[in-house]
Amino acid sequence: FLEKIGITSEVHVLRTAMDGIPPLKDNHLLIKDLSFDKIKVRIYQPKTPTTGRRRGVLYFHGGVGRFGSIRAYERTCRYFTKKSNSVFVSVGYRLAPEYPYPTQFEDCLAATVHFMRIAEDYGVDPARVIVCGDSSGGTIAAAVAQAMTNRKDLPKLRAQILIYPFLQAASFNLPSYEQNRGVPVLLKERTLILGLKYLNKEESVLDAVLKGAHVPRDLDLKCKVWLNPDNIPEDFKSRDYQVKGVYQEKQYSEDLCRQAKPILDPIFSPLLAEDSVIAQLPETFLLSCEFDVLRDDVLLYKKRLEDHGIKVTWCHLEQGFHGIIFLANYGRLASFKTANKGLQMIA
């Protein structure tokens, strides 16, 4: 409403809300603000002595590429740094719309490469570097992990940690999208609207994309395998769930397919990467929430990874909802037993 009457913008309001009130100084951590290839980062190092080199974690924050910041995730990164005795690098990648997609992915990839080259300067073993992210940050982490499979000049990533990530924009009719279509904070249509804004695409394509008219025939054949609801355990389907989107006859639109090509690129939809890429990915931790439209993205990615022999640790929060891990570090008012379980599993 405020945006419509010209007082402020949605992006400004959400950025301010996510930033919140910064926490007080932490005497247990050494915290530095630096730049990696002109990309802002904040490094968190435990002050406790160690006999060997620590693991290093690059953290990519959520916010659909348009909001979120290092400051917003200060509590999250402090918590994981201390609980896991790791060196954390929070990446302040540039945001859309000021910096159009895929700047966000490019910044995170550049920061990852830079850190791996200088990891030993921070007491980190380059062979024990992990990429981690929540929500759209999990999308970026997955895309960075895929991009790193081709690097011959650096050690392989040790692992990827994906916290309720968005992983595909080919089907919005999976059981979790039907079950949680009206559950905050990611309503079904709202999820796609946010993605279209991130990509600077017109919202006029919304209905056609929801129906799957943007998926070209050659990719649709692969999606019928990769996004097959049969790959989702029956416990996650309501009794009245009917398969849609994957098997139904679609009214293809070649013009829409051209417009929507970035939506289906593995940088935006890592679940749609080719088998040859999936097979080279590192050990993976996945976190899903029952009351989240993105739940089945996680389940389907888990299946693809395991089919290629990738070791997967999966944490499912039965009472969880999208954003619960972000809220968990904001004190008792925003704390949930379910969130604490997730935090412990990630650590």
67-84: per-residue pLDDT in tens?
999 999 999 999 999 999
Q: What order of strands is seen across the sheet that includes strand 54-60?
A: 29-36, 39-46, 87-92, 54-60, 124-134, 159-163, 283-291, 312-321
> Span 2-346: which CATH code?
3.40.50.1820
Q: Which residues pair with 44 in a beta bridge?
A: 31, 88
The answer to whether the peptide bond before residue 216 is cis (omega within 30 degrees of 0) is no
pLDDT digits 0-9 by tens, 80-118 = 999 999 999 999 999 999 999 999 999 999 999 999 999
Residue pair 61/137 in contact (Cβ under 8 Å)? The answer is yes
336 residue type, one letter: F
Q: Which residues are catalytic?
A: 135, 292, 322
pLDDT digits 0-9 by tens, 252-289 = 788 899 988 999 999 999 999 999 999 999 999 999 99
The Cα diameter of the chain in Å comes to: 62
Residue with tokens 């997967």: 312
Q: Where are the domains of the chain?
A: 2-346
Question: Is pTM beyond 0.85 here?
Answer: yes
* Residue 305 reports pLDDT greater than 80: yes
